[in-house]
Structure 1
């Protein structure tokens, strides 16, 4: 074996012999591929099956046949077919299995590893601000939270989380955290994004993507964020799966504290297919400096994502965008 990952073996002994005297190829950190390790960390999640004329029959180690649902059968067929297709795939961070869609990956994580696997990023180390998905399912719409033991701050943007923690405090559990705050225990450390450059803003002006007044507003807001020692625009890409999501989200500095920007930041979303933009500020359906700032960052760092949006301010009644909007109105 030369270091290439293989996911199908005739029996356990073939796996043991192939991995003998090697580090485990299915783990992200170096660990010896002993029989104990392979059984405990990987074989316990293995799928035992045999091919037949009518499809796949699932069996466990005692050879008791289990008949999977149509959804599971289709997922197995799709995964096996995808192994031969070129292109980028998302890998499970626990066991290394590759998936072509984030929905298949999330389903695998829930079923095989038993927890939500929701990412969380620190976007402002100075003020202890994080972003994490609002819901367990559907589009990964981010929300802001603050958690600092030094400043004794435990805050979440959602009112339902306020009510939950308030009820817990009244019940004698004043330190009980909502599900979003709990995730900070495995948050990714703050990594500064590429800074906004005036040259790219001027180029947008030359191409008539921004007006003179919009350019001025962007420069002023960027300067105020710099004075405060925070990032004006922080793009929210969820780790290795960053470009597999249709909507790109940004946390944008506002220099305000209001219901829509409780921690001095708002959320902007961009639909890479329709070119539609949305911001939580009071100018939701029109141009605002927060959308312009996000477009500035995209134009500078990821111009290929703007190919479907000749007008960076295009507002589209796109199905996914409407779904995101509906999700925001639930709480």
Structure 2
């Protein structure tokens, strides 16, 4: 109602300006067009010091700064809960008031002969026990209190065997797992408890919470149930009974439940369909995939033998179409290991990236998710590689549409390079493609997998023509010079297996999508490079052994990612003197007692000669330390993943190295050298070698100059170069 007069509320003049702030804001308009001003009183929060409306301060304190353990749970304020087993009084209750916690189980059964009031939380159960010993029998934690006010009941779902059979037929899991699921269902029915219940009390809509029956009472299933969590965005499953990315019976039952109740989450392509937000690649798997060493060799051999692309492709795969729907989730179709003698079920799909791209003649499809699988027994990895879908997976991050591969093939036939083809595609589509070298490697990998029949035979003259004509093309040059090729051994008879040669070259093209061989370096902790070698194999111990065995004095401590393999290989190479001893380069004898102490963090191995040279040098001892012991240790980025005897190779076990060695030194060098790749990779081999040596030489000069300048300023003396440096 409009007022004909203008009034204002008065504020006491004695108000503390540090506590209250008055802001005049218009609240009402009078009939004459004037404003009726009513002051807004604001007050600072004593906890977070923000300025807030005085009337809103109590609610702000309750929501943001209240202690959850003392909140009064009542009918109007309580944790969200649902009853999942009415017969036995089992409830699912949110673990926390704020945040995205996983629901926990609570048993609140106050009727019948067996009265039970239990909370799955270990902290709550301790508080309940203390309260009972203190005579406070009426004490209830906030989860139990929330269950006492619960009015929501989950609708029970009876899982059907037909759905399970369909999943087995779709190779979601094996027949053996089907029998285990049915046995658990029968046991749940005989115990009069639901096998699985999907609760909807989770805060995050991207997560599905399924409570699964567990007959054994353990630390993770105190009330006979476990909560399985499925993240639809990351396509990850979590169960408290096992580690991440490990399969278990509870996860299979949860998949069975969702497959029946929400089939839209699943696709026949091999991975659940899920919306996902933009984000970086998940780093959990970066340390295991792509594999290296023998793991990479096994994976490449499997792809070459089992993922061949037909030389003559079906018409529906060859023809490009701008209206084609490309899958957003690419997961390997294998469900059991193809290398193990028994049918070993592969682990759950592991996320490789959410930012893969599919390159086509018309556009670039972004935000594609790729997965890999691993055999839990032999450790072999499997990746998506299905030409029948019209796609060629290069490196799990870049996927080529097969019509694009055929376009590049045809352009090469009319003397158009891949770099010009990429430039043409960018002008046509208006989007930026990956570098031409990357596209070239992807295309060569596609050709290496194609099942070509290299006949090189004339249908008229046959395999052995009586007349031939020879010539030389003078306008081109081989990428190799004569000096780049090693001389053959003296017993070489000139016989070479063409099949083995071309197969090895094909494997090299395929491995381009997994790893680049690059250079191997040996440097001191200060970052000065001592040895440099162009690797013949991907992160192979052989190449580093070549370098170290050429040294006059081998270092006492070598830090390498694959310490065990390197020590074993080097000792086999030089078995007459065993370069790495004692204990094959381990810090202590790998007994069970030492391993347990190292795992518990109760072991330190002092190497005093690193700080002060031994008074009496060992025979063949190092000139700086006087010790003849040689150890191979794991750097800090990898020592947490070591197992068994490798825990005795942890760098952190040696106190003398704890504050003197930074394992990031090599990474800094590689980050700088990566900037040179674009022109080094385009150089001839001899030019590449010379440039690399020259660049590293000047890198060492600049690094040494900075170290000398810093030391001179610190010590205020002019340092002279020593014949033998100190650590």
1:105-144 matches, cutoff 5 A? 110=63, 117-144=78-105
Q: 1:261 aligns with which of 193, 206, 221?
A: 221
1:299 pairs with one of 244, 259, 267: 259
Between structure 1 and structure 2, the one with the greater Rg is: 2
- Tell me, what secondary structure is at the counterpart of 1:286? coil
Contact 1:122/1:131 (CA < 8 Å) preserved in 2? yes
Partner of 1:246: 206
Shift of 1:179: 0.8
1:251-330 equivalences under 5 Å are 251-282=211-242, 285-305=245-265, 306-308=272-274, 313-316=348-351
**1:63 alignment partner, SS class:** strand
Quickly say closer, same or farther: Cα 1:303–1:68, change in 2 above 3 A. farther
Determine the structure 2 residue equivalent to 1:19. Answer: none
How far apart are the structure 2 equivalents of 1:50 and 1:258? 64
Cα RMSD (Å) = 3.5
1:8-51 CA distance string (max 9 Å, x none): xx99xxxxxxxxxxxxxxxxxxxxxxxxxxxxxxxxxxxxx979
Aligned to 1:65: 40
The answer to whether the 8 Å contact 2:209/2:230 transfers is yes
Q: Distance in 2 between matches of 1:156 and 1:50?
A: 53
Q: Could you say if the C-alpha distance between residues 170 and 237 of structure 1 is closer, same or farther in structure 2, counting changes exceeding 3 Å?
A: same
Match of 1:28 in 2: none
Determine if the alignment matches structure 1 residue 216 to structure 2 residue 216: no
C-alpha distance 316-226 of structure 1, shift in aligned 2 (>3 A): farther
> What secondary structure is seen at the aligned counterpart in 2 of 1:267?
strand
Asked if 1:234 corresponds to 2:228, the answer is no
| TM-score, normalisation: structure 2 | 0.28
Q: 1:219 to 1:149 in 2, by over 3 A?
A: same
Q: Does the 8 A contact of 1:277 with 1:315 survive in 2?
A: no
Q: CA deviation at 1:284?
A: 5.0
The aligned residue for residue 443 of structure 2 is none
Of structures 1 and 2, the one scoring higher in RCO (CA 8 A, sep 6+) is 1
Q: For 1:212 and 1:296, locate their aligned partners in 2 and report how far apart those are by CA, in whole Å.
A: 13
What secondary structure does 2:38 align onto?
coil
Is 1:182–2:145 an aligned residue pair? Answer: yes
Q: Where do 1:68-87 residues align within 5 Å? A: none
CA distance in 1, matches of 2:352, 2:100: 17
267 and 247 in structure 1: CA distance in 2 versus 1, 3 angstrom threshold: same
d(CA) in 2 for partners of 1:50 and 1:64?
Answer: 8
Q: What secondary structure, in the 3-state scheme, does the structure 2 residue paired with 1:123 have?
A: strand
Counterpart mapping for 1:92-103 below 5 A? none
State the number of aligned residues: 223
Checking the alignment, whether the CA contact within 8 Å between 1:252 and 1:265 is kept in structure 2 is: yes
Stretches of structure 1 lacking an aligned partner (at least 5 in a row): 1-9, 12-48, 52-61, 70-106, 319-331
